[in-house]
Structure 1
Amino acid sequence: MKRDLTRERIVTAASELLAEGGRDAVSTRAVCAASGVQSPTIYRLFGDKNGLLEAVADHAFESYLARKTALAATDDPVEDLRRGWDLHVGFGLANPACYALIYGEARPGVETSAARRASAVLAGQIRRIAESGRLRVGEKRAAHLVHSAGCGMTFTLISLPEEERDPGLSALGRESVIAAVTTEDTGAADAGPTGLAVAMAALAPRLPALSAAERELLAEWMDRVVVSDG
């Protein structure tokens, strides 16, 4: 219990320093002074400064993820994706230093735990669109496009003085991306062979009439169609 309270105190202090002065303000010395602990305590609990920064990112991201995962799914998965986009951009604008900590240092194969959790939520939203037959590209391509566009939009808005931010820019970018990866609400037929293949690949795990091997094979076949058509 004492360990948890100490950890929480350190993370809170580091979060406040991050919000006030950015990443450079979160030095071990500053965190120790703000939280009233000695540096060995920080290293024992977090390993190193990077471990502490990741804990700070998770702490700040927790409320955002709670709101995002608490959104009740509607009958329209595309509309749910819109709401997810708006939450993502809103979080970045409200917590610019934390957002930069999570997404600002992209490295191949390296992702913060907060970013991984957010990616899992986005993948779930994309999967629902695929299952509805409204995804016109493969799930991975759609998720990557939505993620990259959302991050780029958020960083662009963060970089602008608040009084210069175009209130309609995020919505315009959001709708452009949605139009690129989804069809109108007319089912998979409107997306052509790729849309049908994406829908079948997404639904394959839910076809009890097929064996596990058959479901896996069906998904593999449909993925080939998506790749060859893309």
Structure 2
Amino acid sequence: MVDVEGARPREDVRTRIVAAAAQLLDEDGADAVTTRAVAQAAGVQAPTIYRLFGDKDGLVDAVAEHVMAAYVSTKTAASEAGSGDPVADLRAGWRTHVEFGLANPELYALIGAGGRGARSPATLAGIEVLRARVRRLASAGLLRVDEQRALMMIHAAGHGTVLALLAVPEADRDPGLPGAMLDAVLGRLLVGTPAVPEATTSAVTVAFATVLPDLPGLSDAERAVLGEWLGRALAGLRDPGPAEAG
């Protein structure tokens, strides 16, 4: 085996190594992604991997980022196109996420291991795509809860749904589970009349907080004070005290 690193630009060698590792991961699982196997598949010497990635964990991070970046790029393009219906767009994004997780079980498990998802730029970009979808729901007056709570509920439910399905043999999986889970979450998040702002305190407050940055005629100080008031109101709606809850 000849290490051709010196014959090609450093980035080209890095790309070939990541592609080889991704192929091994996809075809043979995480256990197959060893330094020796990747080096052989990429046509480089093992020390080249250590020079470029530091260690195996660095290589695995690069592989996860490579696959996730391609997925998030497609997801972002779909989000920007949209359908005009924020609920339908959210459902489409949910289906895409579940399908990706089920199609890439080894990668999905790797992303969740060792906190990789929390530090992955591609994963964080994917969350921002979801945040934009949630904001459209809020702007339409459709949310019962504040945007951050809605974002985390959808994100947690989607991640948990994929992990639950992956834990079951493919032949025994419930194909209706993803849709049922999303329906359960949306039942808690959305007001009763889709795509029409509903005059409930929570829906109006969430929608108002969403458009606050674009309100004309306010100074920065006034906008900050109003934002603080709305934040406190949203906190109270999220976790009402005994008097409000009663």
1:63 counterpart = 2:70: yes
Change (3 A) 1:196 1:27: same
| Equivalent residue in structure 1 for 2:107, among 92, 98, 111 | 98
1:113 counterpart = 2:121: yes
Aligned partner letter, 2:224: E
Provide the residue aligned with 1:74 in structure 2: 83
CA distance in structure 2 between the partners assigned to 1:74 and 1:172 by the alignment: 22
Provide the residue aligned with 1:187 in structure 2: 197
Q: How far 1:145 sits from its partner (Å)?
A: 0.6
CA distance in structure 1 between the partners assigned to 2:142 and 2:26 by the alignment: 40
Q: How far 1:212 sits from its partner (Å)?
A: 2.6
Q: How far 1:105 sits from its partner (Å)?
A: 4.1
5+ residue gaps, structure 2: 1-7, 239-246
Provide the residue aligned with 2:40 in structure 1: 33
Asked whether the equivalents of residues 19 and 95 of structure 1 are also in contact (C-alpha less than 8 Å), the reply is: yes
Asked whether the equivalents of residues 132 and 188 of structure 1 are also in contact (C-alpha less than 8 Å), the reply is: no
Asked whether the equivalents of residues 25 and 106 of structure 2 are also in contact (C-alpha less than 8 Å), the reply is: yes
Provide the residue aligned with 1:157 in structure 2: 165
Provide the residue aligned with 1:203 in structure 2: 211
Provide the residue aligned with 1:48 in structure 2: 55
Q: Which has the larger radius of gyration?
A: 2
CA distance in structure 2 between the partners assigned to 1:82 and 1:103 by the alignment: 23
CA distance in structure 2 between the partners assigned to 1:18 and 1:166 by the alignment: 26
CA distance in structure 2 between the partners assigned to 1:74 and 1:38 by the alignment: 49
Provide the residue aligned with 2:244 in structure 1: none
Asked whether the equivalents of residues 118 and 124 of structure 2 are also in contact (C-alpha less than 8 Å), the reply is: no
Aligned partner letter, 1:146: I
| Equivalent residue in structure 2 for 1:9, among 6, 16, 26 | 16
5+ residue gaps, structure 1: none
Cα deviations across residues 57-85 of structure 1 (Å, max 9, x unaligned)? Answer: 12111332122111112221121111110
TM-score (norm 1): 0.91
Specify the SS of the correspondent of 1:133.
Answer: coil
- Give the alignment's Cα RMSD to 1 decimal: 1.9
TM-score (norm 2): 0.85
Percent identical: 47
CA distance in structure 1 between the partners assigned to 2:133 and 2:30 by the alignment: 31
